[in-house]
Structure 1
Amino acid sequence: MAKDTKGKDKQRVGFIGVGLMGHGMAKNILEKGWPLQVIGHRNRKPVNDLVKRGAKEAKSPAAMAADCDVIFLCVTSSLQVEDLIRRKDGIKAGAHKGLVIVDCSTADPNSTIALAEELAPLGVRLIDAPLGRSPKEAEEGRLNTFVGADAKTLKEVHPLIAAWAENIIHVGPLGAGHKMKLINNFVAMSYVAVYAEAFTACKKTGVPLEKFHEVISAGGLNSGMFQNVCKWVIGGDPKAHEFTLANCDKDIRYFNQLADAEKLTTVVASAVKQTYTMAMAMDRGADNMPMLADAVANFNGLTIQPESLRTGKKAGKKDKKKNKK
């Protein structure tokens, strides 16, 4: 362990996945006094910013594992987590007894449990701490996290997690955090799918979108997610909720897999999955979550926001005609 300015032990921390959420988390760890290593990425901007603030850049996950006490992972899915741990220059190759890996990704709980069992003989512990809230709260150090861990390991890493999380909810043992996250995201993605169909119905029947916003905002159905969707559907803000439809599709598939493994009937979840699958088939994976409304509207021959605003590309003649409708 490293020492802080008062001579106290400070865990040496590694962070892999310094993207929209990870940058703010890593920044807060660094600013609150922990020595930090990061892994380079094709998007150099967040990496360069953290290095400028005092972080070191590790050559590989193996090199990071050999030199750190705790490693945070904040990547897209279990596929990336498995690769980072198992590949030739991965975490497992450089792991040492006492290393703790904190997986903040939205992942498959079965994969999480299997990886933990694989790492245990090396004296390495894996816990899950997926995230709630947005990149804005990540930068402010005010995320939510749902933790699956034994009490002893959570106690060890709690101050580190508290550097970037306002609410730390210990859900249960290993894997419980990822299960909670999938259930949470199922609810969120179901709401957005309902909003998308409702806005399309408004458009088709001539109900002004602004009036629909006014009615929902004034009643018990109002929510932060509804307001975020409206920032795009009515306000045209493409960054209203920066979470891609590709990620939504992955998360709702993971939820359905979780439900299938437990032999649960999932009438709503199956329908929600098909909505996001449809958006993916329409090549909308890079769109942000509120833009599901456009996919549903477009599928019905309608337009919510012009394609040029959604894609950032200049409208051609075809778009301009469409937007006059």
Structure 2
Amino acid sequence: MSAATPAGGAPARPDPATLRALGPVAFVGLGVMGGAMLRNLVRAGADCRGCDASPATLERLADLGCPLFADPVDAARGAAVLVTMLPTSAHTRQVLFGEAGRGGAAAVLADGALVIEMSTGDALETDRIAAELAAAGLRCIDAPVGRTPREAAAGRALVMAGGDTEDVARARPLFEALADTIVHVGPRGSGIRLKLVNNYMGMVGMVMTAEALMFAAKLGLDRATVVKVLSTTAAGRGQLNTNYPHKVLAGDVTPDFPLRMGYKDIHLAMNLAASVGAPLGLGGYAREMFALAKSWGREEQDCTAMLLLLEDLAQVPR
């Protein structure tokens, strides 16, 4: 893992000459995130061309001071770097290879150009696209971004890059214009996989938070008080920020709070939820996982040993 700046520091900014030395950069996909990212690249001094299929989007970005195109082939012609920031992998494939695999942006890039796929797409299709680009003599890394549009606009995105070390190094000046945290996750395909793990955790957390607040409301509790209290507990702050680093991730599953007691508590909560008609779907699944601890010989281990239980079930090698 590597970061562009220490935590809490001002974002690193590349020397404009270093950015321009990359050669022409075509940026395809100028939605909320992509438009903010292109704006930062232009501001940092990159030689950019933007592209989007939406006339309204191009009009919104008309003040950028760089050429804008509706056709990705026009934007990519002769470019040394092509960035894709698109809704799906199908859009990326169409931009790169065109209809029926012919006539796309990949065909008009400079020799040895670097394609940086920053979309959140299908991991296996991302692998296939990268292999096809490599067969065409093009370099490719997957580098999806994290955080919010507001942080992207401020140049404080998170970049999770998967690819060869030299390719990620080549892209680093560009990333430094976009992000304050740049992580080289591993080989090609690693970036999109970590992004999907992150999004899985985030979206399940959305449901869990909604369930908890709904449960509290069904019990007649004051929402502001509930939010205030939960914001100070491990439940609200998140296990990765509280218990996991000090227990299971440190190799310690001696019980601060055993899985046996975790089962008791979630069972009590589920019974209370049933009495007031609060649907807790995630709670039902979690109770079943806690119930397995006894048969797997883990009921007296710390609750964070849930990680080991699930790894047992998934046959994750240790």
* TM-score, length of structure 2 as denominator length: 0.65
Are 1:31 and 2:40 counterparts? Answer: no
For 1:106-131, what per-residue CA distance to the aligned partner results, in whole angstroms no more than 9, with x for missing partners? 12221111111111132111210111
Match of 1:22 among 16, 20, 34: 34
One-letter code aligned to 2:66: A
User: Can you give the 5+ residue segments of structure 1 that lack an aligned partner in the other structure?
Assistant: 225-266, 273-325
Q: Determine the C-alpha separation between the residues in 1 that align with 2:131 and 2:219.
A: 55
Are 1:162 and 2:176 counterparts? Answer: yes
Aligned to 1:314: none
Aligned to 1:182: 196
| Alpha-carbon spacing, 1:140–1:223, altered in 2? closer, same or farther (3 Å) | farther
For 1:225-271, what per-residue CA distance to the aligned partner results, in whole angstroms no more than 9, with x for missing partners? xxxxxxxxxxxxxxxxxxxxxxxxxxxxxxxxxxxxxxxxxx97xx7
For 1:20-74, what per-residue CA distance to the aligned partner results, in whole angstroms no more than 9, with x for missing partners? 11111111100000121111332624x3343312110134222222231111111
Aligned to 2:78: 67
Q: Determine the C-alpha separation between the residues in 2 that align with 1:12 and 1:175.
A: 25
Identical counterparts, % of pairs = 29
Aligned to 1:80: 91
Q: Offset of 1:80 from its aligned partner?
A: 1.4
One-letter code aligned to 1:178: I
Q: Which has the larger radius of gyration?
A: 2
Aligned to 2:235: 221
Q: Determine the C-alpha separation between the residues in 2 that align with 1:206 and 1:7.
A: 57
Q: Determine the C-alpha separation between the residues in 2 that align with 1:28 and 1:63.
A: 22
Kept after mapping to 2: 8 A contact 1:73/1:103: yes
Aligned to 2:68: 57
Q: Determine the C-alpha separation between the residues in 1 that align with 2:18 and 2:172.
A: 20
Aligned to 1:100: 114
Kept after mapping to 2: 8 A contact 1:97/1:122: no
Are 1:9 and 2:25 counterparts? Answer: no
Aligned to 2:127: 113
Report the 3-state secondary structure (helix = DSSP H, G, I; strand = E; otherwise coil) of the residue aligned with 1:201.
helix
Kept after mapping to 1: 8 A contact 2:158/2:180: yes
Question: For residues 237-256 of structure 1, what are the structure 2 equivalents within 5 Å?
Answer: none
Kept after mapping to 1: 8 A contact 2:23/2:80: yes
Report the 3-state secondary structure (helix = DSSP H, G, I; strand = E; otherwise coil) of the residue aligned with 1:14.
strand
Cα RMSD, aligned residues only:
2.5
One-letter code aligned to 1:31: R
Report the 3-state secondary structure (helix = DSSP H, G, I; strand = E; otherwise coil) of the residue aligned with 1:21.
helix
Match of 2:205 among 191, 195, 203: 191
Kept after mapping to 2: 8 A contact 1:38/1:56: yes
Aligned to 1:238: none
Q: Determine the C-alpha separation between the residues in 2 that align with 1:25 and 1:143.
A: 9
Q: Determine the C-alpha separation between the residues in 2 that align with 1:64 and 1:36.
A: 9
* TM-score, length of structure 1 as denominator length: 0.64
The answer to which of 8-17 and 65-74 deviates more is: 8-17
For 1:145-193, what per-residue CA distance to the aligned partner results, in whole angstroms no more than 9, with x for missing partners? 1100101111111101110011000000110001101111111111111
Aligned to 1:205: 219
Report the 3-state secondary structure (helix = DSSP H, G, I; strand = E; otherwise coil) of the residue aligned with 1:145.
strand
Q: Determine the C-alpha separation between the residues in 2 that align with 1:8 and 1:204.
A: 58
One-letter code aligned to 1:20: V
Kept after mapping to 1: 8 A contact 2:19/2:174: no
Aligned to 2:261: none
